[in-house]
Amino acid sequence: MRIIVSDSSCLIDLRKVGLVEAFLKLPYEFLIPNTLFEDELLKFTAAQKRALVKGGLTVTDLPGERVLRAQGVIREQPRLTLHDGFAFALAEGYPGCILLTGDGGLRAFAVAQEVEVRGVLWLIDELHRHGVDTAANLLVVLEQLAVDPTVRLPRRELAAFIKRYRALC
């Protein structure tokens, strides 16, 4: 089973539209660095965090060499946060895994390091492809994301997804 290492940005967007539970039903193993889980998911309640873990999200402590790698990444890429460095270092430690992030700087750095990167829109397609959710429900989610000013998805790509999911309904 492939591993998805998540940063916090995609989980935050999924929580906004009620897709966290569905996300965890996908046929992947899900990991998140413990520091991101504790420090970045600020709007998640304790019950929501417990549900994430119960649903299959593994909160992972980074071994010492991965912490050092994370620190090296943020020295090399000063616009990345320490939490970005932790997510990248964890993903890099699992060759062939997917780094799930909506952070543009982290995405660019990971791609340059040949780590596969995906985001929320890819997850929408995965939910549909695996029959976890219907096209009609996912269209509603896409439309919610489109009007949320705090969601930073690429507008052109989001509009194309909305058009495609409308055609599927």
Q: Would you list the DSSP string of 52-90?
A: HHHHTEEEEPPPHHHHHHHHHHHHHSTTS-HHHHHHHHH
Going by pLDDT thresholds of 50, 70 and 90, the confidence category of residue 152 is confident
Using one digit for the tens of pLDDT, what is the confidence trace for 129-150? 999 999 999 999 999 999 999 9
pTM: 0.94
What's the CA angle centered on 27, arms 82 and 163, to 5 degrees? 85
HSE on the CB side for 102, CA within 13 Å? 16
Strand partners, 33: 60
Q: Please tell me the predicted confidence (pLDDT) of residue 42.
A: 87
Q: Which residues contact 40 (CB under 8 A, 6 or more apart)?
A: 7, 8, 83
Using one digit for the tens of pLDDT, what is the confidence trace for 74-126? 999 999 999 999 999 999 999 999 999 999 999 999 999 999 999 999 999 99
Going by pLDDT thresholds of 50, 70 and 90, the confidence category of residue 160 is very high
Going by pLDDT thresholds of 50, 70 and 90, the confidence category of residue 63 is very high
> Over the chain, what is the mean pLDDT?
95
The CATH topology of domain 3-120 is: Rossmann fold (3.40.50)
pLDDT over 90 (residue 33) = yes
Q: Is 24 helix (H, G, I), strand (E, B) or coil?
A: coil
Q: Please tell me the predicted confidence (pLDDT) of residue 81.
A: 94
Domains of the chain, by residue range, sit at 3-120, 121-168
Report the distance separating Cα 68 and Cα 63, nearest Å.
9
Q: Please tell me the predicted confidence (pLDDT) of residue 43.
A: 87
One-letter amino acid for residue 46 of the chain: A
